[in-house]
Amino acid sequence: MTIGKIIDGKAFAATLRDKVADGVAGFVEATGRKPGLAVVLVGEDPASSVYVRSKGKMTVAAGMESFEFKRPDSIGEEDLLDLIEELNQDERVDGILVQLPLPKHIDEAAVIGAIDPAKDVDGFHVVNSGLLATGQEALVPCTPLGCIMLLKDELGDLSGLEAVVVGRSNIVGKPMAQLLLAESATVTIAHSRTRDLASVVHRADIVVAAVGRAEMVKGEWIKPGATVIDVGINRIADGEDGKSRIVGDVATAEALAHVRAITPVPGGVGPMTIAVLLRNTLVAAHARAGLAKPADL
């Protein structure tokens, strides 16, 4: 039995961060200022806090300016919108990221809609999702863009391949499908209401699993030789020692016997997200300064 390849997202992300750091150096030389990324965190969710801290460190490591804004859960929507307007006007800020999810009393769409699309490094604003959907230059959501980079690195040309995206979120599933379509793949979006998911997945040369359910995609569903991108990050109790561990949306151990290649969890897609965020910030900085973006990004 042959075993598929494990795609090293961690190494790919490190290479991308190095390229971004080179691009930052060029930007500083050309403009006399550093690109700046502002991250807004509302509330104290531990996972979000860890993530935001990590973003801040990597932003600085890439040579950019990091601005962090922590606000209590109790913040009102108007106050949050005022903060975003300040960041829209701040010339030092090239990218604005509002960490999601937001507390229930705040309208997420209104907050995202208030971000200047030119600074929307998450690519969540309807202007950017519309540009992406119509095949125009856009700021593209970080996780799906990272997935496409890994797929193109593994497979080269994606044209004509059957791609199945499992999950239809605005953050991953929908933009992922648009990116695959832009690469001329034949794209199916499957989701919780899809009938006979196993056979839909079995058609695919490319499977992108982004449903947020631990090991839901079974190994035997995978067509032999398919490439699998596992976006899931699910914490589950580990029966053996009572501790918890992180698993993806794909039953990786089973899938390895079927795939050509698969991203592991952790160490696959996860590290790509922040690397692409830095890339998007650099791209936004170039656009705002009227400069062409570095060719290798």
Catalytic (active-site) positions: 55, 99, 122
Extract the tokens encoding 97: 């990221």
Give min distance, CB of 252 to ligand GUN, in A. 21
Nearest to 152 by CA among 75, 232, 229, 214: 229
285 contacts 248 by C-beta, under 8 angstroms: no
Q: What share of the chain is helix, strand, coil (3-state, %, to 5)?
A: 40, 15, 40
Q: Say how far apart CA 26 and CA 255 lie, in whole Å.
A: 43
67 C-beta neighbours (distance < 10 Å), count: 17
Residues 135-194 that bind ligand GUN (CB under 6 A): 142-143, 171
Phi, psi of 291 (to 5 degrees): -105, 150
d(CA 124, CA 111): 10
Which CB atom, from 132 or from 255, has the smaller least distance to ligand GUN? 132
Residue 140 CB, nearest approach to ligand GUN (Å) = 11
What is the x/- site pattern for ligand GUN, positions 90-109, by CB under 6 A? Answer: -------xxxx---------
Is the preceding peptide bond at 35 cis, omega within 30 degrees of 0?
no
- Site track 251-280 with ligand GUN (rule: CB under 6 A), x = hit: ----------------------x-------
Q: How far is the CB of 280 from ligand GUN (least distance, A)?
A: 10
Q: How far is the CB of 246 from ligand GUN (least distance, A)?
A: 15
- The residue (of 100 and 287) whose beta carbon lies closer to ligand GUN is 100
Residue 142 CB, nearest distance to ligand GUN (Å)? 5
- Give the residue closest to ligand GUN by C-beta: 100
Q: Are 27 and 285 in contact (CB under 8 A)?
A: yes
The 10 Å Cβ neighbour count of residue 237 is: 10
User: Is residue 122 close enough to count as binding ligand GUN by CB under 6 A?
Assistant: yes
Residues 14-73, interacting with ligand GUN (CB under 6 A): none
> Can residue 120 be called a binding residue for ligand GUN (CB under 6 A)?
no
Give whichever of 128 and 143 is closer to ligand GUN, judged by the CB atom.
143
Alpha-carbon distance of 103 to 72, in angstroms, equals 10
Helix (H, G, I), strand (E, B) or coil at 223: coil
Tell me the torsion sign for CA atoms 248, 186, 174, 269: positive
Which residue, 122 or 215, is less far from ligand GUN as judged by CB?
122
Q: Which is nearer to ligand GUN, 20 or 259 (CB)?
A: 20
Number of residues that bind ligand GUN (CB under 6 A): 9
Binding site for ligand GUN (CB under 6 A): 97-100, 122, 142-143, 171, 273
